[in-house]
Every structure is written in structure tokens, then in C-alpha cells.
């Protein structure tokens, strides 16, 4: 495997590196001493965020991350309610129906979202403690995080990771620590991961990073299948980002729409399309 990063620069000059999926997990799992908190950005109407969340839960070293954290705005901030690995058939149908109604998706999409979430939840108990964040409509995320012992792998709405200032219509409803939650609560030890398809939807709905005066650093990670549409963005600006990706990370543009394109790993492409003599 060739772990050398590949740099591609678009016409605007905003080039960030692309690394393989294996290289990413090697960098994440090799260091088990310093603090690392991973935040996955989700878009609730597609399965990509839950898919990445499940893949991380499966492949991260169990000695490295202690808490599996899921956004649940209806949970009490008391911490008395927790996610569980037990998923019954009735819970499947209830969850699928809820997703279809709330996010206006079809049954196939809602089932895929649930199944990836269930894959991640299956590791609660044997590998992680299950915890909710964003309870009571993001009333006090700082209190919720203060109770968590150890590093976290969290899945929240992508807007909570990408939005610098909460929209005015939410200012009276949500705690100020809700945007961007990783920078407000774990500023030096967090990295954020956003699937490519989630970023595309976020851009279409309005890029809220335009006013970010202190952009961080980022890189693309190819999906296991080497398809650019299954890649994800890694970004951050603290020590956790520099320790693991300091040799390959590049400054992020002010707008997500100006990110350089993702390119497939040439080694994997050669394997999939061998040249005949």
C-alpha cells in the first residue's frame, strides 16, 4: 500500500491532500496516549453519516475511544436516558416510520439510515459506553459532555460542526455551545469528519462557513471502495489534528464549495483496471 498523500489543486488554488482509507485508520489508531475526540457530521435524510459512524465504531481501537455519542434532541439532559445496543423489530419499524415522516424520505432510505445506526449501536456495552448529546433541543451540551469520561466518537448534524454562528432564528432556542460544538467543547482535541455527499447537500442549502475568520486544516479520505462519492472530509485546527495529520493537512478554504476535487487512489485504480500487455 502506498501511503504517500496525493495533492490535487483546483483552479482557485484551494488544494488539500487525499489519503487512503487504510492510511487514515493507521494514523488514528497508532496513538493511544493523547486525547482524541471524533465528530461525524450527519445529514438526517441520507445514510452517509450513519454509514461512516458505523465504520469508525467498527475499526477504531477499543482502547482509544470510550464513548459512542449520538445526537438526540428529545433526550433529557439529566443523562438518565442512554442509547442501547438492544434493537427489537418494533424499534426498527418505529424508527423507520419516524424518519420517513420527519425527513420526507422513502422507506428504503429510512431503512438504510436505521441499519447503519444499528451497526454502530451494536458496539455499545462490548466496546463503548452509549451517551446522548443535544438533549432537550441542545439545551446544555457542555453539561452533557462534562459527564463523559474518556474520548468520544460522536454523530451529530453536520450543521453543528460547520456553522460558526447559530442562525438568528435558533439563537433563543439553542445553547451557544451548539455551533460549532466541537470547537466550543473540545477545541484542541477534536477532529470533524463529514461525508462527501453530506457536504454537497450542505452547500446546496447554504454554506455557513463563509464568515469563518479562522479556518482550520483539512484533507480528504477516500472510501474503502475508492469511489470519490464515498470519501469524507477531515478537518480541525487543534493539536489532535496536527499530531495525526500535520504532515499532509492543508488550509481549508473559507467556502466548502471551493474545496479541491477528490481523486481516487492510483494504486487501487490500477488494481481495479489493470493494464494488459
Residue 277's pLDDT is 38
Provide long-range contacts, Cβ within 8 A and 24+ apart, for 24-32.
24/221, 24/234, 25/59, 25/60, 27/244, 27/245, 28/60, 28/64, 28/244, 29/59, 29/60, 29/61, 29/64, 31/243, 31/244, 32/61, 32/63, 32/64
How far apart are the C-alpha atoms of 187 and 173, rounded to whole Å? 23
Residue 193 belongs to some domain of the structure: yes
How far apart are the C-alpha atoms of 67 and 89, rounded to whole Å? 25
pLDDT tens, residue by residue, 62-102: 888 999 999 999 999 999 999 999 888 888 899 999 999 99
Range of lowest pLDDT (81-85, 110-114, 148-152, 256-260): 256-260
Residue 173's pLDDT is 84
pLDDT-derived band of residue 261, with 50, 70 and 90 as boundaries? confident
Share of the chain above pLDDT 90, in %: 64
- Given a cut of 80, whether residue 213 has pLDDT beyond it is no
Looking at the structure of the chain, the number of domains it has is 1
How far apart are the C-alpha atoms of 12 and 254, rounded to whole Å? 12
Residue 246 belongs to some domain of the structure: yes
How far apart are the C-alpha atoms of 82 and 131, rounded to whole Å? 5
- Which range is most confident: 22-26, 172-176, 222-226, 271-275? 22-26
Which cell numbers hold the place of 162? 460547520
Residue 277 belongs to some domain of the structure: no
Residue 1 belongs to some domain of the structure: no
Bridge partners (DSSP) of residue 131 are 69
How far apart are the C-alpha atoms of 165 and 187, rounded to whole Å? 15
Residue 123 belongs to some domain of the structure: yes
- Given a cut of 80, whether residue 238 has pLDDT beyond it is yes
Domain coverage including residue 171: 6-272
Residue 267's pLDDT is 58
Amino acid at each position: 500500500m502506498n501511503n504517500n498523500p496525493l495533492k490535487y489543486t483546483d483552479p482557485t488554488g484551494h488544494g488539500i491532500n487525499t489519503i487512503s482509507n487504510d492510511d487514515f485508520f493507521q494514523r488514528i489508531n497508532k496513538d493511544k496516549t493523547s486525547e482524541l475526540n471524533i465528530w461525524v457530521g450527519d445529514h438526517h435524510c441520507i445514510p452517509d453519516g450513519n454509514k461512516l459512524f458505523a465504520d469508525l465504531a467498527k475499526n477504531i481501537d477499543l482502547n482509544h475511544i470510550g464513548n459512542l455519542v449520538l445526537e438526540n434532541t428529545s433526550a433529557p439532559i439529566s443523562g438518565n436516558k442512554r442509547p442501547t445496543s438492544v434493537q427489537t423489530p418494533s424499534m426498527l419499524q418505529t424508527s423507520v416510520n419516524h424518519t420517513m415522516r420527519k425527513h420526507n424520505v422513502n422507506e428504503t432510505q429510512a431503512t438504510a439510515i436505521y441499519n447503519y445506526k444499528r451497526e454502530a449501536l451494536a458496539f455499545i456495552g462490548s466496546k463503548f459506553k452509549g451517551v446522548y448529546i443535544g438533549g432537550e433541543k441542545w439545551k446544555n451540551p457542555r453539561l452533557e459532555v462534562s459527564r463523559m469520561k474518556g474520548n468520544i466518537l460522536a454523530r451529530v448534524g453536520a450543521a453543528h460542526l460547520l456553522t460558526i454562528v447559530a442562525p438568528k432564528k435558533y439563537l433563543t432556542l439553542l445553547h451557544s455551545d451548539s455551533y460549532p460544538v466541537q470547537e466550543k467543547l473540545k477545541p484542541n482535541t477534536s477532529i470533524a469528519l463529514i461525508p462527501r455527499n453530506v457536504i454537497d447537500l450542505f452547500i446546496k442549502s447554504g454554506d455557513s462557513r463563509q464568515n469563518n475568520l479562522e479556518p482550520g486544516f483539512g484533507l480528504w479520505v477516500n472510501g474503502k471502495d475508492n469511489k470519490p462519492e464515498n470519501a469524507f472530509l477531515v478537518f480541525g485546527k487543534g493539536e489532535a489534528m496536527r499530531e495525526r495529520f500535520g504532515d499532509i493537512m492543508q488550509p481549508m478554504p473559507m467556502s466548502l464549495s471551493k474545496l479541491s476535487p477528490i481523486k481516487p487512489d492510483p494504486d487501487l485504480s490500477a488494481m481495479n483496471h489493470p493494464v494488459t500487455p
